[in-house]
């Protein structure tokens, strides 16, 4: 095979006298030379030089492709695009080159999609599809909860056959490893809240009430909610990714063939681990937030940590703490179930794995906020 030469275009202006379009400023005869292949367009400087040469050729010029050594579909596409998607008025081309250019011309004829017209029935149809998809997710989540209850009963009947090793492993990965980040975020949130409250309370001379406001807001609401959101983003996505990778690697199919129940081996250990770890993580986050608020209150209003610690038990009833622990347990089970739900729905491809992980985090955080609102309304009505 002869060595390749760079593609180029030489404009033969003298040929315009032999029949080029009269009156066109850049008309002439364009002589394509060299090898018009993908390898010939690889270098940036070479491609820019060829672009300048192509731009110098006018639209009315005649083309001569007989000087081209080799022509592939990439080179043909470059020429076809320069011609504006149609053959020039005069073109000398060999039979093999014409066949390639005809093929490129055929494949370049793509029908433009018709603009969709807005119609109310289409919007109703889309809304119906969304409702049905939501009902499908709700149905599968209810089935998952029912299966979890059955598996928990099975664990109580035969605890010696329970997946205790999996549960202890998940307790460490979901609970112990989450303590640093939850403590840091909780401490900073406590500092910010205390500084903002100090600005308002100082105007009314009510600095001492910062203990009541910080205590009730952090212990009852913000501490568990903040911990749940952090765990949903951190652990919920991890659960979906773990189970999704098992789907991609066909491990779930292998478990099904061996008669190993997904619910007992995958869902139950994660739900139990988060049900135990979540209240502890919420308590840890609340303590860190109270420490941050205590420090900020001391710096801004002179409320000493000793007074803060002494006034806190009388300002916040113990029932609020127990309610927060109960909420956190529910949050943990829901985060685990949602993560498992999306993980089991992952299809054996990486795109579905990414979509499932994203949907898991969004669904878990949304569910945590909804359930927290339900708890707030219910316990407000019962007077707690």
> DSSP E strands: which ranges in 25-143?
29-36, 62-64, 68-71, 91-92
pTM: 0.71
Instruction: Please check whether residues 62 and 184 belong to one and the same domain.
Output: no
Q: Please check whether residues 79 and 200 belong to one and the same domain.
A: no
The reply to whether 352 and 229 lie within a common domain is: yes
Place of tokens 């080029």: 20
Tracing tokens 């940590």 back to the chain, one arrives at 305
Each residue's pLDDT tens digit, 134-173: 999 899 889 999 999 999 999 999 898 889 999 999 999 9
Q: Are residues 314 and 194 in the same domain?
A: yes
Question: Distance (Å, rounded) from C-alpha 335 to C-alpha 5?
Answer: 63
Tell me what percent of the residues of the chain surpass a pLDDT of 90.
Answer: 39
Q: Is 183 in the same domain as 326?
A: yes
User: Does 102 lie in the same domain as 242?
Assistant: no
Both 151 and 95 in one domain: the answer is no
Q: CA–CA separation, 342 vs 337, rounded Å?
A: 9
In a domain, 115, yes or no: no
Kindly state the average pLDDT of the residues 90-97: 87
d(CA 274, CA 372): 17
Looking at the fold, whether 252 and 375 belong to one and the same domain comes out as: yes
The CA distance from 129 to 380, in Å, is 36
Let me know if residue 23 belongs to a domain. Answer: no
| pLDDT tens-place string over residues 210-261 | 888 888 889 988 999 999 999 999 999 999 999 999 988 889 989 989 988 8
Q: How many domains does the chain have?
A: 2
Classified as helix, coil or strand, 11 is strand
- Domain span holding position 281: 137-379
Are residue 233 and residue 375 in the same domain, yes or no? yes
Pair (325, 190) in one structural domain: yes
Residue range 47-89, pLDDT digits in tens: 888 888 888 887 778 888 888 888 888 989 988 888 888 888 8
């Amino acid at each position: 095979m002869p060595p390749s030469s760079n593609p180029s275009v030489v404009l033969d202006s003298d040929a315009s006298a032999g029949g080029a379009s009269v009156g066109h400023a850049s008309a002439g005869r364009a002589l394509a030379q060299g090898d018009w292949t993908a390898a010939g367009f690889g270098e940036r400087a070479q491609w820019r030089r060829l672009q300048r040469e192509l731009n110098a050729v006018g639209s009315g010029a005649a083309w001569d492709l007989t000087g081209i050594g080799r022509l592939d579909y990439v080179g043909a596409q470059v020429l076809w695009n320069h011609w504006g998607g149609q053959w020039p008025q005069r073109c000398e081309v060999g039979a093999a080159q014409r066949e390639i250019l005809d093929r490129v011309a055929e494949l370049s004829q793509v029908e433009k999609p018709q603009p969709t017209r807005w119609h109310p029935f289409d919007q109703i149809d889309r809304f119906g599809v969304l409702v049905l998809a939501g009902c499908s997710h709700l149905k599968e989540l209810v089935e998952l909860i029912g299966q979890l209850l059955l598996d928990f009963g099975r664990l109580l009947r035969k605890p010696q056959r329970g997946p205790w090793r999996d549960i202890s492993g998940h307790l460490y990965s979901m609970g112990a490893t989450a303590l640093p980040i939850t403590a840091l975020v909780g401490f900073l949130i406590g500092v910010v809240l205390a500084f903002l409250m100090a600005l308002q309370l100082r105007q009314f001379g009510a600095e001492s009430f910062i203990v009541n406001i910080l205590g009730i807001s952090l212990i009852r609401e913000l501490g568990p909610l903040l911990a749940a959101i952090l765990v949903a983003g951190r652990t919920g996505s991890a659960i979906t990714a773990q189970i999704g990778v098992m789907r991609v690697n066909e491990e779930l199919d292998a478990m099904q063939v061996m008669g190993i129940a997904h619910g007992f081996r995958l869902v139950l250990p994660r739900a139990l681990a988060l049900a135990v770890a979540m209240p502890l993580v919420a308590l840890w986050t609340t303590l860190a937030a109270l420490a941050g608020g205590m420090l900020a209150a001391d710096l801004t209003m002179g409320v000493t940590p000793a007074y803060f610690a002494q006034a806190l038990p009388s300002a916040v009833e113990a029932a609020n703490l127990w309610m927060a622990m109960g909420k956190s347990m529910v949050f943990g089970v829901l985060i685990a179930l949602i993560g498992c739900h999306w993980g089991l729905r992952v299809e054996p491809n990486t795109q579905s794995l990414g979509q499932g992980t994203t949907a898991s985090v969004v669904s878990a955080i949304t569910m945590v906020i909804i359930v927290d609102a339900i708890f707030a309304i219910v316990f407000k009505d019962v007077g707690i």
